[in-house]
Structure 1
């Protein structure tokens, strides 16, 4: 009986060692694949916003311009219900935004 248990234990140990070697080979192959993909894949783009004074000022100015655009469109839509007038206001606003921004904000930074 003792020889049989020793033989089964040896078989289990051999199976365990084989599984360990197989797992090590898989991990090594995965590590090589990650290394190759790491060299081939471009680095991720930075998604964080710049936090300086100029960046905050520019964001605030852009928010004011966007809010003004939306308010003008809402006012035109409320005063004149015509789709043609609303479309004309959109086109005119889009053409005048650069002029208003240039006059309102000093963008020469």
Structure 2
């Protein structure tokens, strides 16, 4: 009887060792695949938004400038409706916007 138990125990241990070997091979293959993918596909870079007072002011200023620009373009398009005049006001606004932003928001003046 003890020889039979010893043989079954040896079979169980051999099966357990084979299963462990297969599991290790599977894990090694998965690790190699993950490493290969990590080399091929760059990880996304998270750009954090600055949250200080100056950054908030700059964002608010940019929103005001953009809304003003869009308001002027919309009013010209609604009031006159001419494509040529709308294009002219667009070009003039693009040239004049930096000057107005500097005059309105520059603290050195």
* TM score, norm. by length of structure 1: 0.71
Aligned to 2:81: 81
Distance 1:46 1:91 in 2: 35
Question: Which shifted more, 45-54 or 8-17?
Answer: 8-17
Distance 2:40 2:106 in 1: 44
* TM score, norm. by length of structure 2: 0.71
> What SS does the aligned partner of 1:81 have?
coil
Aligned to 1:45: 45
Shift in CA distance, 14/77, structure 1 to aligned 2, threshold 3 Å: same
> What SS does the aligned partner of 1:50 have?
coil
Counting only pairs closer than 5 Å after superposition, residues 61-72 of structure 1 correspond to structure 2 as 61-72=61-72
Distance 1:9 1:83 in 2: 90
Quote how far apart the aligned CAs of 1:18 are: 1.7
Aligned to 2:92: 92
Q: CA RMSD in A?
A: 3.4
Aligned pairs, how many?
106
Residues 3-40 of structure 1 deviation map (CA, whole Å, 9 limit, x = unaligned): 99986776565344323222223323544665687689
Aligned to 1:104: 104
Question: Which shifted more, 5-14 or 66-75?
Answer: 5-14
